Amino acid sequence: MSNDPTKPFEQIGELNKRLSEYTVRVNKVIAGGVAPAIKAQADSAVAALESAVAHGEKLTQVKLPQEAVEEQTALAQDLGENFQSTARKLLEIQQDTGAELKAVLEEGVKTFTPEALSQLFKKGS
């Protein structure tokens, strides 16, 4: 057993370093998925608004009830396609990021077990 009074502080420093590096990695993976997901949703919202405005303008100019039905149908089709496209993008993002996040979390579970942390503090004793 070492009588070096600084050893526990060095070990705590090493643990904090490992935890900090790991936290940064986890956050990078999460951000890598969140940022594209937010962009996909924002793009979807803008497209939906643009479609609604365009079809709304046309609705103000219809002469016959059938034209109004056709315009509403076209708007519904645009919104449905927008939703499906956005859903596909979000699923792809989740799948891509999910695998990476799973791997890094599994690494953390193995790295920061009580046994592994116990070994960190024993190796300098």
Q: Give, for all 125 residues of the chain, the pLDDT tens digit.
A: 457 888 888 888 988 999 999 999 999 999 999 999 999 999 999 999 999 999 999 999 999 999 999 999 999 999 999 999 999 999 999 998 999 999 999 999 988 888 887 877 776 55
Cβ proximity of 111 and 25 under 8 Å: no
Query: How far apart are the C-alpha atoms of 104 and 31, rounded to whole Å?
Result: 14
This prediction has a pTM of 0.70
Q: Does residue 99 sit within a domain?
A: yes
Residue 39 lies in a domain: yes
CB 86 within 8 Å of CB 41: yes
End-to-end distance of the chain based on CA atoms, in angstroms?
5
How many structural domains comprise the chain?
A: 1
Residue 2 lies in a domain: no
User: What value does the CA radius of gyration of the chain take, rounded to a whole number of Å?
Assistant: 27
In a domain, 83, yes or no: yes
d(CA 92, CA 89): 5
Residue at 106 is within a domain: yes
Q: Which one, of 36, 79, 73, lies nearest residue 58 by Cα?
A: 73
Whether residue 1 is contained in a domain is answered as no
- Domain of residue 12, residue span: 7-123
